[in-house]
């Protein structure tokens, strides 16, 4: 049984707000749907696409440095050195949130909507909105 190889991109699209409800849109390019209100938006960011084309990544099989050369994520790539196939996945940035009870900094993946969190240090429950 073979394990599917993948590498996470180091470049993320910018965080954008929904034009209808002002909530955070999913962090991807193209046609996106707001998770909060269902509005459709067309997101394009030429700077991100240009950076994706020039992004240098390391092959997970042989550690050769490759230039991605493709302006979409996820993308299936083939290493020129070892001929192995792998998936270049999109980057989901993490944000730091301070616990209101103990001031501990928590790291979590950013995604649209409200998240109810319980601090692992002091068990304080609080909510964050993105």
CB atoms within 10 A of CB 12: 17
What rounded mean pLDDT belongs to the chain? Answer: 90
pLDDT for 113? 81
Whether residue 2 is predicted with pLDDT greater than 70 in this model: the reply is: no
What digits encode the pLDDT tens for the residues 110-121?
888 888 999 998
Residues 130 and 121: their CA atoms lie apart, in Å, by 23
- Confidence band (pLDDT; 50, 70, 90) for 1? very low
Residues 37 and 102: their CA atoms lie apart, in Å, by 33
Residue 31, burial from CB neighbour count under 10 angstroms (0-12, 13-18, 19+): exposed
Residues 82 and 63: their CA atoms lie apart, in Å, by 10
What digits encode the pLDDT tens for the residues 41-88?
999 999 999 999 999 999 999 999 999 999 999 999 999 999 999 999
pTM of the model: 0.75
Percentage of the chain surpassing pLDDT 90? 61
Rg of the chain, C-alpha, whole Å: 18
């Amino acid at each position: 049984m073979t394990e599917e190889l993948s590498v996470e991109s180091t470049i993320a699209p910018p965080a954008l707000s929904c034009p209808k409800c002002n909530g955070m849109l999913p962090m991807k390019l193209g046609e996106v749907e707001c998770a909060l209100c269902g509005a459709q938006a067309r997101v394009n960011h030429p700077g991100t696409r240009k950076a994706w084309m020039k992004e240098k990544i390391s092959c997970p099989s042989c550690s050769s440095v490759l230039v991605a050369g493709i302006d979409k994520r996820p993308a299936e790539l083939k290493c020129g050195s070892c001929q192995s196939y792998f998936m270049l996945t999109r980057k989901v940035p993490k944000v730091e949130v301070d616990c209101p009870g103990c001031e501990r900094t928590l790291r979590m993946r950013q995604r649209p909507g409200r998240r109810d969190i319980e601090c692992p240090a002091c068990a304080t429950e609080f909510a964050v909105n993105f």
